[in-house]
Amino acid sequence: MPEGDTIYRAARTLHRALAGRVVTRFESVFPALTRIDVDTPLRGRTIERVEARGKHLLMWFSGALVLRTHMRMTGSWHIYRPHERWLRRRDDMRIVVETDEIHAVAFGVPVADITSADGLERVQPIRDLGPDPLSADFQADEAVRRITSRSEIEIADALLDQSAIAGIGNVYKSEVLFAGRVNPFVRVGELATSDVERLVAIAVRFMRANVADGTPAMIETYRGLRRTTGRHDPGARLWVYGRAGKPCRRCGTPVARAKQGPNVRSTYWCPRCQSAERARSTSPPVRDRD
């Protein structure tokens, strides 16, 4: 699933391509979107801006309408010139927003709705979002408060909770915990507030480094350019994620991998650097063998 930095870069690229342009045609396979377009046509409206909130991409139109999409595991936005050949099949198309010079196409997007600007804040996934590390008004203390309030769950799952802190996905979860030397299976209530503050600061640093000007502004779902180690070698981009069985870049201990949490997400960690003795879960994780 694309994480917050991926959506941020996609929104930034869409904004640069579309902001200020007038919609000449709108098409969607979603009946609800088509019905709204019939009742309150998008054609003739100006695209005012495109922005990200956590893992949600918001396209704002004049007249106070907002198109919200969530990529989940399959979605991506592409931009094309008129008559340019699409890189994906038409059967994968979910939404088309055309202007005179740029066509934006959403492929494989499973979640989409159009709402009023006022109604957006009442849409539950938006209403319940925690502070976004990539927003200009990010409130670190509020993110820390929300995470620490989840005292009974494991810290890795707390970081994935979008109502605690927005935009963190499976990659950043593992990378942030490694950088903070925190075992992913320790319960939040067993951590000091200073530990949580450190993890939030690391998440902000990692995510902002991956959306800085000069980083690739790809529209397509993330394809492996994310870095947390600061190294430019493609084989040394990440500390632990995706490196099960390989030596820890700090101590040489084989990186471990296990399924974790109610959604059975993969977690990667170094048993030595991330002090396994700090994890006191009543049921220890079962290691994958694949």
The answer to whether the beta carbons of residues 225 and 234 sit under 8 Å apart is no
Residue 55 is a catalytic residue: yes
Strand order in the sheet with 65-70: 47-53, 56-61, 65-70, 111-116
234: annotated active-site residue: no
Sign of the C-alpha dihedral, residues 30, 31, 35, 36?
negative
Strand blocks (E) in 62-190 = 65-70, 76-80, 93-98, 103-107, 111-116
Q: Which of 3, 98, 154, 175 is catalytic?
A: 3
Rounded Cα distance between 107 and 91, Å, is 9
Set 2, 131, 133, 285: catalytic member: 2
Contacts of 171 (CB under 8 A, 6+ apart): 3, 226, 238, 241
Helix and strand element counts for the chain (H, E): 8, 10
Neighbours of 218 (CB within 10 A): 16
- Exactly one of 48, 51, 55, 173 is catalytic; name it: 55
Annotated catalytic residues are: 2-3, 55
